[in-house]
Amino acid sequence: MTLKEEFQTRNFSIYGQWLGIASMIVCFATGLANIFSFLSAPIIIVFCALALASSFIILFIEIPFLLRICPTSGKFDEMIRKISTNYMRSATYAVMAVLQFLSTIGPDTSLIAAGIFLSLTALCYLAAAIKGQAFISSKTLGGQGIAQMIV
C-alpha cells in the first residue's frame, strides 16, 4: 500500500500517526530552540526538556520498528506497548499537549506550536476511536510490512 492509498482509506489513525511524526519534529525543534532562553525565564528549561522527552517518546510510539533495533529497557518497552489503542494514544498526546500549553505560565514561546500539533494528533486518534476504526500502522513508518522483513 502506497502512502497515497493509506491516506485514501480515511482512517483517522493513519492521519494521527503522520501528525504524530510532525508533532515529534515540532517538539524537538521548539524544545531545542527555546532551551537557550533560560536567561529570561528558567521555568522554560523545564518545558523544553519535556518537549524534547516527548519527541523521543513519540518516536518510539509511532515507529514500532525502533523498539526492535534500539537497545531499550524492558520497562520502557512495556510502557510503549501499552500505548497501542487509539484511546491510549489520544490520551497520551493530550497529556503531552497539556504539558506544552502549561509552558505559557512563563513568557510566551514557540512551545505553544508543539502543544497545538500534539492536540491535533490527540484529536485524530480520538476521532478514530470514536468512529470505531481499528488502528492501522503505516507501512512507511514501520508497520506490518517492514516488521515482517526483519523477522
Percent of residues, the chain, with pLDDT higher than 90: 39
What is the pLDDT, as a whole number, of residue 61? 87
- Taking alpha carbons only, the member of 140, 145, 62 closest to residue 96 is 62
Predicted pLDDT at 106: 78
CA distance 110 to 4: 31
Q: Examine the pLDDT at 142 and tell me if it is beyond 80.
A: no
In which band, very low, low, confident or very high, does the pLDDT at 145 lie, cut at 50, 70 and 90?
very low
The pTM score is 0.84
Q: How far apart are CA 148 and CA 151, in angstroms?
A: 5
Task: Express each pLDDT in 40-74 by its tens digit.
Answer: 678 888 899 999 999 999 998 888 777 778 788 88
Tell me the per-residue pLDDT of 71-99, one tens digit each, with 9 for 90 and over. Answer: 888 888 888 888 888 899 999 999 999 99
Q: Say what the pLDDT of residue 65 is.
A: 76
Q: Return the pLDDT at 119.
A: 96
DSSP state, residue 135:
P
pLDDT computed for residue 93 by the predictor: 95
d(CA 97, CA 104): 12
For residue 118, the one-letter residue type is L
Nearest-angstrom CA–CA distance, 108 and 41: 10
